[in-house]
Amino acid sequence: PKTTISVIKADVGSFPGHSRAHPKLLETAAQMLRAERGKLLLDSFVTHCGDDLELVMTHSHGANSEAVHRLAWNVFAECTKVAKRFKLHGAGQDLLAEAFTGDIRELGPGVAEMEFEERESDPVLIFMADKTGPGAWNFYLYKIFADPFNTPGLVLDPALSGGFVFEVHDTVAKRMITFSCPEESYSLLAYIGSSSRYVIKYVFKRDGTIVASTSTQRLNLTAGKYVGKDDPVMIVRAESGFPSMGEVLEPFTVPVLVAGWMRGSHNGPLLPVGLCDANCTRFDGPPRVVCFGFQVANGALVGPADIFDDPAFDRVRARCNELADTIRAQGPFEPHRLSAGEMEYTTLPAVEKELENRWKLLKE
Ligand code: F6R
Ligand code: MG
Ligand code: MG
């Protein structure tokens, strides 16, 4: 039998402001999912990154199961009620529809799923970020699966030397393309370097075995207006013919600028943190990523391990904080502020609209 992992997340209210999910929401979600164990679900784990409530579910219903998506929706709806009771900030903000209509992917929450035949041992890493968008994973996935300077296994292990296939989604034109690496790595980079538009959705082995899966929902494109950032999630399988756990984690030792942060309008460093530090504070950030590791055993989530809660990541955190100081000093100027094209999906157009009729045309 195959096992499916579904990671579904939404911001349905936080405190204070947009900084962290409330424990009562985590408790409500955990209880609702636990009640489904042995029924719809095999196992479950609930956590948060910043203001985002993260549901990790294992089951045998495959990706895009209507029943599993409905359960996630019901959990978010119930947590919204709790959030409203406490007058939490942004209560229900990511639920863009009144009711569940069959596919949660179109309704606001972010979804990463994968279905696979369990190996003798299946280590799985689940990454969850706040104050950034799905393009944030592009850099890391390229490094993990296509860069031998990061992943020696690509050179040293015959089980990896065949390379990997990347499925890239165009979030604007709603189309997809695949690139086989290493031979098409330049073409892959030509697109994924524009990470505000092109995002890696899946990584496969040559034989089609799934290795990585991300959420690609663009909240503001779905809503048609600014409702916060997408705050993506990602599932990566490791070891035995895939990159090792350390190869998957190694790209997170470099400070990387991602789009998001304050008002979803600024580039800033993505800070890898343990759960105890997964709360956004400075300038509503900096953008953060947590990682939970599990062994998946007949659908059971054996774990979790709080991966970035480790002094080995102290130096990248210090460097990220330095980079935050440097880029913050630019205040309202690009490239701290996002480019004009990306600012279209923030609250800036509302400001420009008010000033529109003050502009006078220049004579040629
Ligand atoms: C960014 C984020 C925050 C809010 C900011 C304003 O993703 O969540 O930076 O954009 O706190 O939020 P409101 O409009 O709720 O005051
Ligand atoms: Mg928020
Ligand atoms: Mg968030």
The encoded tokens of residue 213 equal 């899966």
Q: Work out the angle between the directed axes of helices 23-34 and 66-85 (0-180°, nearest 10).
A: 150
What pLDDT score was predicted for residue 217?
86
Distance from residue 65's CA to the centre of ligand 1 (Å)? 32
What pLDDT score was predicted for residue 316?
98
**Euclidean distance between CA atoms 84 and 13, whole angstroms:** 8
The minimum-distance atom of ligand 1 relative to the CA of 130 is 7
Burial class of residue 124 (count of CB atoms within 10 Å of its CB; 0-12, 13-18, 19+): buried
Given a contact cutoff of 8 angstroms between Cβ atoms, the answer to whether 242 and 163 are in contact is: no
What stretches of the chain adopt beta strand conformation (E)? 3-10, 43-49, 52-59, 110-116, 123-130, 164-170, 175-181, 198-205, 210-214, 233-237, 257-260, 266-269, 271-272, 288-297, 300-306
3-state secondary structure at position 344? coil
The encoded tokens of residue 154 equal 């690509």
Q: Where are the chain's structural domains?
A: 3-350
Distance from residue 90's CA to the centre of ligand 2 (Å)? 7
Q: Is 157 a catalytic residue?
A: no
**Euclidean distance between CA atoms 96 and 223, whole angstroms:** 7
Residues with CB under 6 A from ligand 1: 17-18, 90, 131, 228-229, 262-264, 284
Q: Is 229 a catalytic residue?
A: yes
Ligand nearest to C-alpha 345:
1
Distance from residue 51's CA to the centre of ligand 2 (Å)? 5
The encoded tokens of residue 205 equal 């082995």
**Euclidean distance between CA atoms 356 and 166, whole angstroms:** 43
Ligand nearest to C-alpha 52:
3
Per-residue pLDDT for the chain (364 aa), expressed as one digit of tens each? Answer: 999 999 999 999 999 999 999 999 999 999 999 999 999 999 999 999 999 999 999 999 999 999 999 999 999 999 999 999 999 999 999 999 989 998 899 899 999 999 999 999 999 999 999 999 999 999 999 999 999 999 999 999 999 999 999 999 999 999 999 999 999 999 999 999 999 999 999 999 999 999 999 999 888 888 888 887 799 999 999 999 999 999 999 999 999 999 999 999 999 999 999 999 999 999 999 999 999 999 999 999 999 999 999 999 999 999 999 999 999 999 999 999 999 999 998 999 999 999 999 999 999 8
Active site residue: 9, 11, 122, 230, which one?
11
